[in-house]
Every structure is written in C-alpha cells, then in structure tokens.
C-alpha cells in the first residue's frame, strides 16, 4: 500500500470506495464500543476487589488510636499520609489525604485561589482584572475546564518529547497575569510523555512574575507503568524547595486507577505551609474525609512496593490492549503516511495526530458507526484544536476483542476522513 | 436551696465558697471530658458496623447494571436516590447523592453562588456590592462560618419555640442584599425545636426581593428522635413548589448520625431545575462520588422504615445521656433560678441559657477543670453571643458515667460564674 501523499486522484478515489465499503459494513453491525475515557476495565476492578474485605468490622476501624468511623483527622489518618508520602517520595507533613477525587482537590485549590487567594496571593484571583493559565496541549480537558470555569484565559503551550516547551513557559510566566500551569508530569495525558530531568529543573527554578503562580502537578500516573520496569520519578516538592520556590507546586494523585475509579482515595501534596493554609481553608467546608476508605486502602495497598506489585497485575491487563491499538495503527494507518502517534509505556492513553483538518470528521464517522471516542479538540483549551488533528485513544475499558473491532472502525474512519479531504482539494 | 436572686450578699458569698471548694476538688481529679461536638458514641458506631459487610466482593458492587467501582453516575446511583427520596419525602429526580459530607454540599452551593450564581442570580454573589445572610440564633456555627467565609454580612434572627422569628425574616427579605437563610428545621441545632406548620408555610411563601434567595434547609436530624415516636415532617420542596417558589430551597441531610459520622452518605434535595443546574456545575469538579459507599448504605439501611428501626437503637443509647443532662440541670441549676434550657426529644443538643454575661466565664472554668464544651458564643454569628448567655451541651459522645462527672463540673462552673458576677455587683 502506498502513502496517500504519493497517490493520484483516481487511486485515492479507488481507496476511498474500498474504505467506504468497509465502513458501511462496520456500520451495519450496530456496534456500541467506547474508547472515550480512561476508565479501568472490569477485569482490573475484579483484580483489586479484595480491598472491600480490608475493613469489615468495628475493631478493624481503629488505627493509631483513631476511630475512623467518627469525625476528625481532617488532613487524613496518619497511615494514609505515610502511604502517600512513600508513593510520592515526599514527607508526611506535606500531604493532605482527601476523599475519592483528586480532580475535586484540584478544583478546590483553584476555587479557593479564586475566592480567597493562595498563600502568596496579593488578592483573590476574582479581584484581579484578568488571570491567565498555561495549558500544555495536547492535555487533559478536565484540567482546562476547571480554570476556564473560573474565567481564566487559557494559553496553549506546546508539548515536546521532554514535556511542555519550557522556552514558552519561561517567557509566559514573565506576565504577572499568568497564575499557573497544568501538568501531568509522568505519562502525560494524552501523550504519555515523561517530563525530562531538565524540564523538571526548569519548572522548579521558574521565576514567575506572579508571586502566587501555581504549578498544578497532577501525578495521576505516578505508578502506572504497563510496559517495562517502574520508572522512578523525582519529588517536585523538594526540587521547588531547593530552588527557593517551596510553595509554588501542588501535587495530586489518587488510587482511581490503582483500586476503584469511583471509590478511591485522593491526595494533595505540597509544602507544609501550603498544607497548613489549605487545611485551615478546608476546615470551613468539611469536618473530615472518608477515613474508613483511607484505612481500607492502606490495609490493602500497604506501601509503595506492594502497590507496584498490584500495578504489575494491572499491567498484564493493560499491555495487550495497548498492543491492539499499536498493531492496528501500524498495520492500517502507518502505510498511509498521514498520521503519527506515541507508544507510551504507562498511563492510560495513546495520542494520535491525524491529517490536519480531519480529526473532527473522523470521530463523527466513528460515532455514526457506534464507536465513541473522546471528542476531537478536547485535548486543547476551549475544546478547540487549531489543527483539528489530535485524537485521544483510551483503550483501557473495552475487552481486547471489542477493542480490535473498535480500532478497525477507528482506523477506517481516519482513512475515510483523510481521503475525503484529499479528494476535495 | 434558694434562688440566687433572693439571696443577700453574705449568703451568696457562702454559696460561692461552697461551690469553689467543690470546683477545686473536681479540678484536682485531672478530668478530660468532652461535650463539645455532636459526635456519635462508640456504642452507636459499634451498633451499625455491620454496614461494613454490606459490600464485600466484586459481585456485590453491581446494581441496576451499574458497576459502582467505576466512574459515572454523578448524581448518585438510582437506589441511593430512591432511598433519600423515601427518607425526605421528596422525588427521586429532586436528589443529588454525594459523598461523606452534607456540610461540603452546602459549602459548594454557597461557593458556587458566590463564583457563578444560582439559577436565578442576576450575577455571581462575588460581583454584588454586598450580600447578607440570615442566621437564626442560637444556631450552628459551621453554617454561619460558610457564609462568613464568602464575605456575607451575618444577620441574627431570633429563635422562637416555633422556629425562626418569621416576622423578622419576612421583614429582612425585603432587602435585595439578603440572599438566604440557614435553617435546621427539625430538632434545630442547638435548641432542638421543630419548626411549626405555620413557620413552614411562611417559609414556603416568602417573597424575597432577591430573585436568588436561598433557604439552606439542613435537615440533619430528620429521623433523629431519641424520645417518643418518629415525628413526621412535611416536604419543604413540595411546599415551596406549591407556593410558586420551586427553586428557593436547598435541603440537605446525611447518614453521619445514622451510620458513621466520618464515612456516611450525604444528599442535597431541591427542585429538578436546581439539581440539573448543580449537576452541570459539579461536573466541572467531580466525575462521581463514592458509589460503593452509597450502595453499602442502601443495602444496610434499606429504606426509611428500616432506618427508623436503627434510629430506635440509637435512641436507647442517646436517651439516657440526655436524661443525665436534664437531671443534673434540674437538681443543680433549676433551684438557683438563673438559667433555663430546652428538653428536646431528638437531635444532638441541649441549649442552655445561663445568667447573661457569664457563659464565657463558665466555660473558661470548665476548661480549666478538664471539661471541654462548644465555645461560648459559637451559636451566634461571628462567634459573638450579645448576651453571653447561650451554651450548647453535646452529650452524645461520652459514656454515661463520664457524662455525670462532666455535668457535675459544668453545673458547678455555671454557678461559680453566676456567683462571681452577682458578688461583683
């Protein structure tokens, strides 16, 4: 098969008819497949459901003299803080262990910055004439939406193979209206990139004009390798401290993709000053988080070492799915020469860049054939991909057989959309 | 024993010496007793710990085709919404079932009103020149603090035996800056008052100048009788709807004092339009709440009828504690004639009005003798009780023997503070 670029019009036309016929066949099958969200599969969830037996009676609920069934311990129970300090490589006093959702913790940080200000804010962000937020893109739509929700102007920063383009970041932070940046430093969503050591150093050493500039460090995939060995990752909190920016970073993580996506335990990690500041702010809205669930998790996950063992079990389920994606793309898309993508070793996504101007159309075709994908554009601020080229593939949820079908449809749609464009020109 | 009012100075002096001697004796015992917060006792928690066995394996997690372990169902699982609709007497579509904390749901409503506005807000509250909030007092300090946190001016409304003074409320709501009111309609915190039918009618028929006036209806003690029969209570949502004010009320409840204070399930109930509005707003900050815990609760609590049976078990533990409080006050305080209090049949508190100008001093003495109480003033806006007279007694946590000691110390301190004041005049 030739690359589309080297085909003449009649060859393209022929190719189009062939793909169209296959597409119509797929459509006739009334599929209902979903690669839209990074949801764990049933198999993964089943593999960790012993968690539910970690706390089953009254005596189980007592730990370090604390009755987890009652009010109290707003910052989280001690053993849960220890657990997260171990996983993230930070200190116990730099952790605040919450309830189910790290997104909610991130939201609360931005929300509180907006209404009351961060530790070093001259005033609450809602009293600023304008605020801006840096969004390395492709990135995570839910991150961008949080800052958009609070009226920030979203500024796209390019992603490189080393993480966000730090030349751009260092330039943008000279503007005092730029209040922060969203980061997924390990297996970035969706590119699966691990920020390089140089990128980390440059982050820690940023000298933003805004005294309350916040690095929102969503370490969502901190232990989420599905191929190869666990990749150790430096503690950004300590790095920022060493660089004289102790309060600049807020790190987040959760067990959503370790145990249960809907019922895990989330954590915020930051300088002790930030944790103290937020514990005080949070005391207005909550008395305590779900400590029984914290304890259940600590009893089951034990520590970082044991968590990594569990992640190896997940890897055995995840790896074949990413293999299906990779093989389909290699077989069906690579020869056509109009798309490229990453081959991550961890995280939950494959980020594909198709022919510019065809991503939306391709996913429209997918939808009509019963395959749901993350909407095109979702990986860019305001949901608008200026090139209309990036598509996030989330292969974790469907079983392998379904995934094979879904990838077949998806690749056909990519090709159809590209051929339509080429034939229109 | 004579009432203090009828004693002459030398009799008062003698009384003071007697109480002082007893106080010094108490102090020498190095007590550490706590009647500060409405925390369930260990006995109560033990009595409901079978809850932990309601969901213990993978299959248990599936309900109505939903895998509660995964993302989704932001509004709550269907059976949890049904449960709360049953308990509160509202409709399923009028419920949003959250995570652990109703306080957090209340906070989020006020926070979102501040940053984005409610359904009928002309603009977000943060863009208003000034906002005011009505605080029936004595009331719940955490309520008041939420609105204080967002810069509202807190206006004290008097409590009557029928609920908030509705003449005052109706007058205040003519001011468009008055944006809402905090209510605990059944077994009010701390007075234990059940709002009368007339009060409810007047609430439902309020005609506030602010189009986005919000009744924050914290039905925290909706099934929390500890003496006598369950008292049925009308559905305020339907009443507001009938009165042409469908979107004016936000109701809250939780299982914090039914199952576990730290790990229960909270609910917000409101008009469908409000639930839809907030579900959209909440979708920015969360993907879903802890559905496993929701399911655990539904499987254990079943329905309203079964919940009331469980509450009868709690009542057997709570009633003797309230009896200790009542008996101590009757025996030690009533004859002195300087204080009065309520005798609630439900809820978590006894609200005592001691001699004006002596509440702070009495609790200072308590603290020095090792008995911790809710700080004096906490039941009023800004923590300032203009009469320095109201004290909230929370007898649920300590065992009966400790409570007896604590009440002995407490009554002694009330008397000492009163005598000090009388002797100074």
pLDDT in tens, A398-423: 999 999 999 999 999 999 999 999 99
Confidence class for position B327, pLDDT limits 50, 70, 90: very high
Closest-CA distance of chain B to residue A154, Å: 16
The secondary structure of residue B175, as a DSSP letter, is S
Ramachandran angles phi, psi of B94, nearest 5°:
-95, 15
Residue B174 and residue A298: Cα distance in Å, rounded?
53
**Is A65 an 8 Å CB contact of chain B?**
no
**Is A2 an 8 Å CB contact of chain B?**
no
The reply to whether residue A115 touches residue B45, judged by beta carbons under 8 angstroms, is no
Cα-Cα-Cα-Cα torsion A44, A45, A47, A52, nearest 10 degrees, comes to 160
* B51 located within any domain: no
Residue A214's pLDDT is 98
**Is B114 an 8 Å CB contact of chain A?**
yes
Confidence class for position B254, pLDDT limits 50, 70, 90: very high
* B52 located within any domain: no
- Rounded percentage of chain B residues whose pLDDT exceeds 70: 100
Residue A406 and residue A424: Cα distance in Å, rounded?
27
Closest-CA distance of chain B to residue A112, Å: 9
Q: Which domain holds residue B135?
A: 58-302
Q: Do residues B424 and B9 touch, judged by C-beta distance below 8 A?
A: no
Name the average pLDDT for chain B.
97
Say if residue B297 is in the same domain as residue B236: yes
**What would the pLDDT profile of B168-193 be if each residue is shown by its tens digit?**
999 999 999 999 999 999 999 999 99
Say if residue A115 is in the same domain as residue A226: yes
Region A217-242 average pLDDT: 97
Region A341-367 average pLDDT: 97
**What would the pLDDT profile of A114-141 be if each residue is shown by its tens digit?**
999 999 999 999 999 999 999 999 999 9
Does B264 score more than 90 pLDDT? yes
Say if residue B214 is in the same domain as residue B321: no
Residue B349 and residue A288: Cα distance in Å, rounded?
21
The token duo for B278 is: 């907030």
Q: Do residues A95 and A274 touch, judged by C-beta distance below 8 A?
A: no
Contacts of B297 in chain A (CB under 8 A): none
Say if residue A236 is in the same domain as residue A373: no
Say if residue A142 is in the same domain as residue A113: yes
Q: Do residues A197 and A230 touch, judged by C-beta distance below 8 A?
A: no
Does B99 score more than 90 pLDDT? no
**Is B42 an 8 Å CB contact of chain A?**
yes
**What would the pLDDT profile of B115-159 be if each residue is shown by its tens digit?**
999 999 999 999 999 999 999 999 999 999 999 999 999 999 999
**Is B292 an 8 Å CB contact of chain A?**
yes
Contacts of A284 in chain B (CB under 8 A): 107, 142, 145-146, 149
Token pair 């599936």 is at which residue?
A: B62
* B25 located within any domain: yes
Region A197-214 average pLDDT: 98
Token pair 């311990």 is at which residue?
A: A73
Cα B161 to chain center, whole Å?
16
Does A220 score more than 90 pLDDT? yes
Looking at B256, B272, B302, the residue that finishes a domain is B302
Say if residue A27 is in the same domain as residue A95: no
Closest-CA distance of chain B to residue A97, Å: 14
Residue B425's pLDDT is 75
* A51 located within any domain: no
Say if residue A354 is in the same domain as residue A217: no
Does B1 score more than 90 pLDDT? no
Classify B101 as helix, strand or coil: coil
* A53 located within any domain: no
The token duo for A387 is: 């090139």
Region A83-88 average pLDDT: 98
Does B267 score more than 90 pLDDT? yes
Residue B189's pLDDT is 95
Residue A269 and residue A291: Cα distance in Å, rounded?
17
**What would the pLDDT profile of A249-269 be if each residue is shown by its tens digit?**
999 999 999 999 989 999 999
Does B391 score more than 90 pLDDT? yes
Looking at A277, A302, A327, the residue that finishes a domain is A302
Does B43 score more than 70 pLDDT? yes
Region B334-347 average pLDDT: 96
Say if residue B279 is in the same domain as residue B157: yes
Residue B251's pLDDT is 98
Q: In 10 A of CB A232, how many CB atoms?
A: 6
* A391 located within any domain: yes
Looking at B302, B323, B351, the residue that finishes a domain is B302
How far apart, in Å, are the Cα atoms of B88 and each of A39, B210, B235, B281? 34, 27, 7, 24
pTM greater than 0.95: yes
Q: Do residues A149 and A128 touch, judged by C-beta distance below 8 A?
A: no
Q: Domain holding A32: CATH number?
A: 3.90.1150.10
Residue B160's pLDDT is 97
* A55 located within any domain: no
Region A203-222 average pLDDT: 98
B59 burial type by CB count under 10 A (0-12 exposed, 13-18 middle, 19+ buried): exposed
Region A358-372 average pLDDT: 97
Say if residue A260 is in the same domain as residue A325: no
Say if residue B287 is in the same domain as residue B313: no
* B107 located within any domain: yes
Q: Domain holding B201: CATH number?
A: 3.40.640.10
Residue A425's pLDDT is 75
Task: Give B 145-174 residues with CB within 8 A of chain A.
Answer: 145-146, 149-150
* Option in A45, A61, A104 nearest B67 (CB): A45
Task: Give B 11-40 residues with CB within 8 A of chain A.
Answer: 37, 39-40
How far apart, in Å, are the Cα atoms of B18 and each of A233, B1, B14, B211, B336? 68, 13, 6, 59, 14
* Domain count along chain A: 2
Q: Do residues B39 and A73 touch, judged by C-beta distance below 8 A?
A: no
Say if residue A199 is in the same domain as residue A267: yes
Say if residue B346 is in the same domain as residue B289: no
Does B2 score more than 80 pLDDT? no
Residue A173's pLDDT is 98
Task: Give B 120-139 residues with CB within 8 A of chain A.
Answer: 126
Between A and B, how many residue pairs show a Cβ–Cβ distance under 8 A? 169
What ipTM was estimated for this complex?
A: 0.96
B198 burial type by CB count under 10 A (0-12 exposed, 13-18 middle, 19+ buried): exposed
Q: Do residues A147 and A110 touch, judged by C-beta distance below 8 A?
A: yes
Residue A257 and residue A238: Cα distance in Å, rounded?
25
Residue A1's pLDDT is 61
Name the average pLDDT for chain A.
97
Closest-CA distance of chain A to residue B1, Å: 41
């Amino acid at each position: 098969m030739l690359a589309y670029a080297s085909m003449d019009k009649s060859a393209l036309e022929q190719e189009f008819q062939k793909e169209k016929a296959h597409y119509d066949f797929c459509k006739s099958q009334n599929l209902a497949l979903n690669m839209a969200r990074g949801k764990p599969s049933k198999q993964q969830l089943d593999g960790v459901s012993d968690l539910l037996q970690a706390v089953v009676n009254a005596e189980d609920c007592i730990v370090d003299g604390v009755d987890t069934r009652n009010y109290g311990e707003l910052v989280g129970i001690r053993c849960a803080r220890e657990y997260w300090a171990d996983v993230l490589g930070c200190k116990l006093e730099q952790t605040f262990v919450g309830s189910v959702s790290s997104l909610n913790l991130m939201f609360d940080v931005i929300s509180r910055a907006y209404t009351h200000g961060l530790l070093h804010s001259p005033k609450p962000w809602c009293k600023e004439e304008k605020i801006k937020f840096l969004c390395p893109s492709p990135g995570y739509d839910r991150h961008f939406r949080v800052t958009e929700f609070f009226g920030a102007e979203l500024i796209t920063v390019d992603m490189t193979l080393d993480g966000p383009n730090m030349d751009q970041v260092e330039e943008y932070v000279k503007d005092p209206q730029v209040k922060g940046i969203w980061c997924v430093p390990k297996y970035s969503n969706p590119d699966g990139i691990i920020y390089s050591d140089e990128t980390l150093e440059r982050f820690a050493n940023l000298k933003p004009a805004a005294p309350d500039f916040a690095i929102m460090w969503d370490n969502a995939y901190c232990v989420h390798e599905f191929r190869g060995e666990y990749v150790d990752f430096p503690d950004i909190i300590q790095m920022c401290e060493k660089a004289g920016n102790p309060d600049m970073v807020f790190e987040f993580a959760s067990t959503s993709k370790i145990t249960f996506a809907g019922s895990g335990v989330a954590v915020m990690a930051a300088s002790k000053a930030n944790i103290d500041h937020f514990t005080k702010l949070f005391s207005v809205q909550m008395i305590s988080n779900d400590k029984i669930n914290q304890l259940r998790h600590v009893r089951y996950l034990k520590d970082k070492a044991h968590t990594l063992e569990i992640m190896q079990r997940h890897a055995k389920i995840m790896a074949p799915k990413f293999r299906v994606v990779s093989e389909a793309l290699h077989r069906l898309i690579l020869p056509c020469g109009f798309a490229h993508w990453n081959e991550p070793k961890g995280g939950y996504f494959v980020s594909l860049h198709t022919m510019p101007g065809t991503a939306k159309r391709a996913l429209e075709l997918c939808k009509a054939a019963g395959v749901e994908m993350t909407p095109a554009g979702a990986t860019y601020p305001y949901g608008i991909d200026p090139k209309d080229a990036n598509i996030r593939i989330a292969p974790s949820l469907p079983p392998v057989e379904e995934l094979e079908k879904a990838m077949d449809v998806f690749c056909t749609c990519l090709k159809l959309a590209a051929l339509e464009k080429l034939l229109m020109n």
